[in-house]
Amino acid sequence: MKFDVQKIRRDFPALDQKMRGGHTLVYFDNGATAQKPQCVIDAVANFYEHDNANIHRSAHELSERATCAYEAARAKILKFLNAPDTYCPVYTRGTTESLNIVAQSWGQANLREGDEILLTQMEHHANIVPWQITAQKTGAKIAVARILPDGSLDMEDFEAKLSERTKIISIAHASNVLGTVNDIATISALAKKFGATLSIDAAQSSPHMLDDLSKIDCDFLSMSGHKCFAPTGIGALVAKREILDSMPPYQTGGDMIEDVAWEGTTFRPAPERFEAGTPHIAGAIGFGVAMDYLSNLDRAAVHEHERALCRRMHERLSEIPNLKIFGDAKDKVSVVSFAVAGVHPNDISVMLDASAIAIRTGHHCAEPLMKTLGVESTARASLTFYNTLEEADYFADTLKRTINLLSL
C-alpha cells in the first residue's frame, strides 16, 4: 500500500500554518518533540471539558470515567509495544524519569562494589548521569563501549567489555544524535549469556515504531509520550512485573501505599508502587490515544517512507561543500546531525528559521558523544512520517543558500 503522507499531514494541525516571512512550517525537530494529531488534542480537551476528576477511590461518575480512561491507556501502550502480559507499564513524566527509576530504585537495591554498568558512547545524559550517581552510592563501576567511525556500535568492543561483573546493560535503541539503531536482539542475547539485566532507552526508537517486546526480551524499556505524538509530561517505564514488584519505591505519598501506620508502611504492587501522588491524568489519556493512532498505521509503509526521507537527506546534504554528516550506520532512524566548517550551528538554525525551517542545535544532551566526534555541537534535522521528500529538498536548498551567506 502506498503511503499517503498528505492524508497523514491533515491529522496534524500544527503543520498547516504560516510562519515568519509567510512560509509554511517545515518541522524537522521531531527528535526533541513531535507534533500532535487532532485526535490527541481532542482527547485531552474532552477530558478537561467533560471528565475532569481525580482517579481511584471514588464512586462518583466523573471519577469513574477518568479512572477507566487512565487505566485503559496502559493496555494501549502494551499493544503498541506488542508486549507479553509479563510486562507492566508504569506512568512516568518521560524517558528521563523512567531511566532514573531504573538507576535509583533497581540500581541502588541491586548493585554492589565491584559490579559493572555497561553503557555506550552514544548515550543521552539521561542514560549516563543517573548511573554515575548510582555508581557513586554503590561502588559499582561504569564501562563504556565504543562506537565505530560510521556511528554504529563497536560490537567487538561491546562484547569484550561484558563479564560476570556486568550486572546491567543500559543502552539506547536509537541514538538521538547519530540516528544509529542498535541491534537490541543481539544485545539481549548477550545480556542473557552473562546474566545481566537489560534496560532500553526507547526515546528515539518508539516514535519510529521499532520496539517489539515480543522480539526484544528486555527487563526495562523507557519511553516518552511527547516524542510519540502524545502530550508532554507523560511517559512510561515498561518492565517485567516480577522485577518491578521486587524494587523499592522511587517516591512515596498518596495512591502507592497499601497500609500506613506509625509503626511502618507497606506498599502496593506495580504499577501503583511507582505512581505516588496525583498523576498526569489528561496526559495518560492522550498517550493512550497516540498509541492507538500509531498502532493503526501501516508500520511497513511508515518505515519505508522514513527510510526514503533519510536517504534523500543524506544524498542532498552530501552535495554541500564543507558539510560533514555524523552518523552513517547502515541501520538508522531519520535523524541527520551535521556540522559545516567555519559556520556555527546556531547561526545555521537562526537563518533556517527565517525560512520557517525548525531544527535543533547544540550538544543534544550528549556531551561525551560530542567529545568523541571531536565537535562542541552539531545541527540536527530529525524527521518523521509526516515529513515529505519535498520538505527535504526545500531544506537542502535553503541550507545551501544559508551556508553560502554565512561563509561570505
Band of residue 298 on the pLDDT scale cut at 50, 70, 90: very high
What is residue 57's predicted lDDT score, i.e. its pLDDT? 84
Average pLDDT of the residues in 42-55: 98
Q: What is the pLDDT of residues 87-104, one digit of tens each?
A: 999 999 999 999 999 999
**Residue 142 burial (CB < 10 Å; 0-12/13-18/19+)?**
middle
Average pLDDT of the residues in 388-398: 98
Whole-angstrom Cα Rg for the chain? 22
Q: What is the pLDDT of residues 235-261, one digit of tens each?
A: 999 999 999 999 999 999 999 999 999
Mean pLDDT of the chain: 97
Tally of CB atoms within 10 A around 19: 16
310 catalytic per annotation: no
Q: What distances in angstroms separate CA 7 from CA 108, 109, 293, 295, 387, one per listed residue?
A: 48, 49, 14, 17, 12
Q: What is the pLDDT of residues 165-195, one digit of tens each?
A: 999 999 999 999 999 999 999 999 999 999 9
The dihedrals phi and psi of 407, each to the nearest 5 degrees, come to: -95, -5
What is residue 20's predicted lDDT score, i.e. its pLDDT? 86
Q: State the Cα angle at 285 between 228 and 251, rounded to 5°.
A: 85
What is residue 21's predicted lDDT score, i.e. its pLDDT? 87
- Give the lowest-confidence range in 28-37, 55-64, 240-249: 55-64
SS (H, E, C) the chain: CCCCHHHHHCCCHHHCCECHHHCECEECECCCCCCCCHHHHHHHHHHHHHHCCCCCCCCCHHHHHHHHHHHHHHHHHHHHCCCCCCEEEEEECCHHHHHHHHHHHHHHHHCCCCCEEEEECCCCHHHCHHHHHHHHHHCCEEEEECECCCCCECHHHHHHCCCCCEEEEEEECECCCCCEECCHHHHHHHHHHHCCEEEEECCCCHHHCCCCCCCCCCCEEEEECHHHCCCCCCEEEEEEHHHHCCCCCCCCCCCCEEEEECCEEEECCCCHHHCCCCCCHHHHHHHHHHHHHHHCCCHHHHHHHHHHHHHHHHHHHCCCCCEEEECCCCCECCEEEEEECCECHHHHHHHHHCCCEECEEECCCCHHHHHHHCCCCEEEEECCCCCCHHHHHHHHHHHHHHHHHHCC
Band of residue 1 on the pLDDT scale cut at 50, 70, 90: low
Has residue 64 got a pLDDT over 90? yes
| pTM (2 d.p.) | 0.97
Average pLDDT of the residues in 332-355: 98
Q: Which residue in 39, 68, 310, 365 is the catalytic one?
A: 365
Give per-residue burial for 62-99: e unless 16+ CB within 10 Å, then b: ebebbbebbeebbebbbebbebeeebbbbbbbbbbbbb
Average pLDDT of the residues in 117-141: 98
What is residue 104's predicted lDDT score, i.e. its pLDDT? 98
Q: What is the pLDDT of residues 304-327, one digit of tens each?
A: 999 999 999 999 999 999 999 999
What is residue 2's predicted lDDT score, i.e. its pLDDT? 80
Has residue 383 got a pLDDT over 80? yes
Average pLDDT of the residues in 17-43: 97
Has residue 36 got a pLDDT over 90? yes
Domains recognised in the chain with CATH numbers = 5-29+298-406 (3.90.1150.10), 53-295 (3.40.640.10)
